[in-house]
Amino acid sequence: MKMKAGCNQLKPAVLVLIVKLCFCASYQPKDLQVCELCSGAVLNGSAVGQFCSSSAGRIEGRCCLRRDNTSDPERITGLDLSNCSLTHVEGLLGTSRAIMMIDLSLNPIVNISDAAFQGLIELDFIILPEHVHCPGGNTSWAKVEVKGGNRLCEGQINWCNQTGQLSINCPENSLCAPYGPSFFECSCVDDFHGYKCLRRGEFPGLLVFGPLGAVTVAASLLLWVTQRRKVKPL
């Protein structure tokens, strides 16, 4: 479970700044490096290739990329890392929360931590070597079957209540939301924030982020002045 305190009452300017920073950090070109982890490209007849074709995506290396509209950046929606001689997957999949399909078959994988799939809320289909269990176990998927030497995990199950309301593991004044196979997060509802969502009222965004911004600006100015005052060696 991941606890997440809500901050819906941030001042507009601060909120816009935070959204822009998160947006830029999430879609840096380095995220596409996972597409070049092994040679070759997604084959048209493969599971990811068929998924990419049916969803009007574009193949780049081992990835299927798609954008929702012309103004959105391309996102990784499919990832084919089959037959890539992978033994570990930890830290490999934190590239895009928009991933819907992953093929890890034909790899000598020793074990996969559930945390490797944390945050992949759109993930709906995984192909694994037969000896590797589905992330979160069978109870995290609507359908699990072994076929052709592979284990297929299909239909990620939402661990929150079907009503989308409070989970028994979430504190009062919070809502439950899926956060990847076997994971969920608790977000504070409007007007509540802080530890276990116990504080009510407007989140002190300017008080929290204002000094941080001021310190950053001051440090940048100090560095600039220091560099300008350096004396050139004789």
Which mean pLDDT values do the consecutive 10-residue runs of the chain (234 residues) have? 41 36 42 86 95 95 90 90 90 73 95 88 96 94 97 94 63 89 90 87 56 66 62 47
Beta strand segments in 34-124, E: 58-60, 63-66, 75-80, 101-103
pLDDT at 18: 36
Q: Is the pTM of this model over 0.75?
A: no
For the four alpha carbons of 194, 200, 206 and 207, in that order, the dihedral sign comes to: negative
Instruction: Please indicate, yes or no, if residue 221 is contained in any of the structural domains.
Output: no
Cα–Cα separations (whole angstroms), residue 162 to 77, 112, 156, 167, 177: 25, 28, 14, 10, 11
Q: What is the dihedral of CA 153, 154, 159, 165, to 10 degrees?
A: 170
Instruction: Please indicate, yes or no, if residue 174 is contained in any of the structural domains.
Output: no
DSSP H or E stretch at residue 211: helix 205-228
Instruction: Please indicate, yes or no, if residue 127 is contained in any of the structural domains.
Output: yes
- Burial of residue 133 (CB within 10 Å: 0-12, 13-18, 19+) is middle
Note whether 107 and 84 are within 8 A (CB): yes
What distance in Å separates the CA atoms of residue 159 and residue 199, rounded to the nearest whole number?
A: 26
pLDDT at 200: 86
What distance in Å separates the CA atoms of residue 133 and residue 146, rounded to the nearest whole number?
A: 10
Tokens 């991933």 belong to residue: 99
Instruction: Please indicate, yes or no, if residue 152 is contained in any of the structural domains.
Output: yes
What is the number of structural domains in the chain? 1
Instruction: Please indicate, yes or no, if residue 144 is contained in any of the structural domains.
Output: yes
Domain that holds residue 45: 22-156
DSSP H or E stretch at residue 187: strand 184-188
Instruction: Please indicate, yes or no, if residue 163 is contained in any of the structural domains.
Output: no
Residue in 131, 129, 126, 118 with CA at minimum distance from that of residue 142 = 126
